[in-house]
Structure 1
Amino acid sequence: MENAIVKSNFKFPGQKSLYTGKVRDVYNIDNKYLVMIVSDRISAFDVVLPKGIPYKGQVLNQIAGKFLDATADIVPNWKIGMPDPMVTVGHICEPFKVEMVIRGYLTGHAWREYKSGKRQLCGVPMPDGMKENQRFDQPLITPTTKADQGHDLDISREEIISQGLVSEEDYILLEKYTRELFKRGTEMADKMGLILVDTKYEFGKKDGKIYLIDEIHTPDSSRYFYKEGYLERLEKGEEQKQLSKEFVRQWLIANGFQGKEGQSVPEMSEEFVASVSERYIELFEQITGEKFQKADAHNVSARIEKNVTEFLNTLK
Structure 2
Amino acid sequence: MSLADKVLAVNNDLPIRTDAPVHNGKVRSVYWLTDADSARLIRERGYDVAADAPLAIMVISDRISAYECIWHGEGGMNGVPGKGAALNAISNHWFRLFRERGLADSHILETPHPLVWIVQKARPVMIEAIARQYITGSMWRSYGKGEREFCGIQIPDGLEKDSKLPELLITPSSKGILKGIPGVPEVDDVNVTRADIENNYAAFSFANTADIDRYENLLSEGFEVISAELAKLDQIFVDTKFEFGYVTDQSGQEKLIYMDEVGTPDSSRIWDGPAYRDGKVVENSKEEFRKLLLNYFPDPDILTNKDRMNERPALASDNALPVEIMMQTSATYLSIAEKITGASLQLSDNPRAEIIDILSSQFGVVV
TM-score after normalising by structure 1: 0.90
Change over 3 Å in CA distance of 1:224–1:275 after alignment to 2: closer
Q: Which residue of 47, 60, 69 maps to 1:47?
A: 69
1:112 CA displacement: 1.6
**1:37 corresponds to 2:59:** yes
Q: Which residue of 1 aligns with 2:134?
A: 105
Matches within 5 A, 1:1-316: 1-2=2-3, 3=5, 4-8=7-11, 9-14=13-18, 16-30=20-34, 32-50=54-72, 51-72=78-99, 73-147=102-176, 151-163=188-200, 164=202, 165=204, 166=206, 167-207=208-248, 208-233=254-279, 239-256=280-297, 257=300, 258-259=302-303, 260=308, 261-262=310-311, 264-265=315-316, 266-288=319-341, 290-297=342-349, 299-313=350-364
Q: Which runs of 4+ in 1 moved over 4 A?
A: 148-151
Deviations 1:159-217 (A, max 9, x none): 12222313321111101111110110111110111111111110000122111111100
3-state SS of paired residue (1:80): strand
Deviations 1:111-167 (A, max 9, x none): 122111111100111122111122122201100101269751111111122223133
1:29 CA displacement: 1.8
3-state SS of paired residue (1:280): helix
Paired residues of 1:13 and 1:312 also in contact (CA < 8 A) = no
The structure with the largest alpha-carbon Rg is 2
Which shifted more, 124-133 or 40-49? 124-133
Paired residues of 2:334 and 2:345 also in contact (CA < 8 A) = no
Alignment partners' CA distance in 2, 1:62 and 1:279: 14
Alignment partners' CA distance in 1, 2:215 and 2:64: 29
Deviations 1:219-247 (A, max 9, x none): 000111122242441xxxxx522211222
3-state SS of paired residue (2:119): strand
Of Structure 1 and Structure 2, which has the larger fraction of its residues in helix?
Answer: 2
Alignment partners' CA distance in 2, 1:229 and 1:5: 33
TM-score after normalising by structure 2: 0.78
Alignment partners' CA distance in 2, 1:312 and 1:104: 42
Change over 3 Å in CA distance of 1:310–1:121 after alignment to 2: farther
RMSD: 2.1
For these two proteins, the number of residue pairs brought into alignment is 307
3-state SS of paired residue (2:189): coil
3-state SS of paired residue (2:274): coil
Q: Which runs of no fewer than 5 residues in structure 2 stay unpaired?
A: 36-53, 73-77, 178-185, 249-253
